[in-house]
Structure 1
Amino acid sequence: MSPFARLCDRVDRGLAAIETVIIATLAVIGIGLGTMQVVLRYVFNTGFEWNEAYFVLATVTAILMAGSRAVRDDMHVRVDVIKMIVPAATARVLDLIAHAASLALCAFYVWCGFLYVNFTRAMDTASPETGLKDWLVYSIMPSILVLFCIRYLLRIRATWLGHDVAPHGDGVA
């Protein structure tokens, strides 16, 4: 295995481990906050005003991270009808085009996201519910989209080399 292939494999496995921890942690936090708010609201007729904001933040961040994992596992949403009726070589070219287009779109969103984060940082606004600076919350989107870009680069490499699916044998689901 070449040094570049080992590097790609390490990056893939490292990101998978980080994504797993973040997705699991944020899912547990989201479930805990959601359950807490329901119990407080419907049993004790009270609640915390910040709870729903943190619940949404944890849930949306976990879902975005899961989207990055879907790219890794080649489970992202797409239309496969054409791939089913064309030869394998053509299907591979179509995959390369689709991955390249997805990479370009994600890179564009990263750029726009960072522009917006810089704008909100200059405005120095904060959420009244959580007290968190808006730029900090909005930085989640471009940060995770950087992960999408890395995932699409790895998918393009794998498709170029003729690998149909990302390797799963690392013990990280």
Structure 2
Amino acid sequence: MKKFWKAFAFVEDVTSGGLLFLGVTVIFYGVIMRYVFNDARSWVDEVSQYMIIWGTLIGTSVALRNNHHIKVDMLFEKFPNKVKYLVTLFAHAVGVSFGIFLIYYGGGLVKFTYISGQLSTDVGIPLFKVYSILPLMGFLLTLRFLVKLYETIKDNGQQWEAHKAERKVDLG
């Protein structure tokens, strides 16, 4: 199972980083074409936006995996460990619910745009392909939040004791 998660994390990292890199590269190409060769390409803006948005949204799963999400923990740090445990369980359950919400309603949007045959403005990309990031992101977030929920339940709040011990060592 560890090999699966390692491969899954690798694919997430490469996909997210690759899309961001390609998006920036397309923007650079557009700038060179516009200002050096005086030949603006209309597709550059649209395609680069989709790549950067996709890379960023897939990156939210990577950030969740690595605990790099923005969080405000001033009040959280004041709680006793039992309350921290309950708040964390609640937060992860809300995260799972949000992921399921994205799967359901994002899937509905993808289905609607597929049936209606909507296309993007400049390039004519079928919008159901563009919007398919929503259920995909919902799936990735649901999966990551379920793992976090499982780890929190399995750990039974011991992570805060270890964190407290680390902070005492760091403070000297």
Deviation larger for 51-60 or 15-24:
15-24
Q: Compare relative contact order (CA 8 Å, sep 6+) and give the higher one, 1 or 2.
A: 1
Where do 4+ consecutive residues of structure 1 move more than 4 Å? none
Could you tell me the percent identity over the aligned residues? 25
Q: 1:59 aligns with which of 26, 40, 52?
A: 52
- Write the distance in 2 (CA, Å) between the matches of 1:47 and 1:164: 54
- Write the distance in 1 (CA, Å) between the matches of 2:121 and 2:77: 51
Residue 157 in structure 1 maps to residue 129 in structure 2: no
Where does residue 110 of structure 1 map in the other structure? 103
Question: How many pairs does the alignment contain?
Answer: 158
- Write the distance in 2 (CA, Å) between the matches of 1:96 and 1:11: 25
Q: 2:24 aligns with which of 11, 19, 31?
A: 31
Where does residue 168 of structure 1 map in the other structure? none
Residue 123 in structure 1 maps to residue 116 in structure 2: yes
Where does residue 130 of structure 2 map in the other structure? 137
Where does residue 89 of structure 1 map in the other structure? 82
- Write the distance in 1 (CA, Å) between the matches of 2:143 and 2:159: 18
> Deviation of residue 11 (structure 1)?
4.5
Map Cα deviations across residues 134-172 of structure 1 (whole Å, 9 max, x no partner): 11111112112210110000010111112749xxxxxxx
Deviation larger for 140-149 or 70-79:
70-79
Map Cα deviations across residues 36-75 of structure 1 (whole Å, 9 max, x no partner): 1111122222221111111001111111111111111122
> Deviation of residue 30 (structure 1)?
1.1
Deviation larger for 54-63 or 81-90:
81-90
Where does residue 20 of structure 1 map in the other structure? 13
The alignment's TM-score, normalised by the length of structure 2, stands at 0.84
- Could you tell me which runs of 5 or more consecutive residues in structure 2 were left unpaired when the two chains were aligned: 161-172
Contact 2:101 2:138 in 1 (8 A): no
Where does residue 171 of structure 1 map in the other structure? none
The alignment's TM-score, normalised by the length of structure 1, stands at 0.84
RMSD, aligned CA: 1.7
Residue 74 in structure 1 maps to residue 101 in structure 2: no
Map Cα deviations across residues 100-129 of structure 1 (whole Å, 9 max, x no partner): 111111211211110111111110121242
Contact 1:158 1:164 in 2 (8 A): no
- Could you tell me which runs of 5 or more consecutive residues in structure 1 were left unpaired when the two chains were aligned: 1-6, 166-173
- Write the distance in 1 (CA, Å) between the matches of 2:159 and 2:100: 24
